[in-house]
Amino acid sequence: MSKVKKINHVAIVVRDIEESLKFWETAMGLKLDHIEEVPSQASKVAFIPVGDSEIELVQPTTADSGMAAYLEKRGEGMHHLCVEVEDIEAKIQELREAGVRLINETPQVLPGRKMAFIHPKSTSGVLVELYEITAAG
């Protein structure tokens, strides 16, 4: 069985990263690590470390992306919970065998990581991301 190592991050969809950072930095005293453009997800992401995990503020960069549609429909708020796993392919296979509904049957491969999503209908309404850290790409 592929081990779940930790909560890697909690992603929060926002309309404006700079505006949202005011709360996290000023009120909560957290420090922004960096902001990254993620063209494959049509988004811009701010990474805010919290212990061994992160808060990620995710802002859509196009009006026609899935993230923009989510934001329009549901408004700002928690988008997904990400758990880091040792072996994402093994975990996907285990979940498939257990009858869990997956959004991604195979992981997306990005520099330094692999990721896949589990459908909220299998997780009490929470979008869950699986994440495996790989050698830096």
**What is the CATH number for 84?**
3.10.180.10
| pTM (predicted TM-score) | 0.90
CA angle 127, 32, 136 (to 5 degrees): 70
Q: Which domain holds residue 51?
A: 4-133
The amino acid occupying position 63 is A
Rounded distance between C-alpha atoms, residue 58 and residue 10, angstroms: 10
- What are the tokens at 107? 């992981």
Residues of the chain falling short of pLDDT 70? 136-137
| Domain count along the chain | 1
d(CA 134, CA 78): 26
Start-to-end Cα distance in the chain? 26
pLDDT of residue 136: 62
Is the Cβ–Cβ distance between 79 and 12 less than 8 Å?
yes
Closest listed residue to residue 126, CA positions, set 42, 10, 19? 10
pLDDT at residue 38 in the model:
87
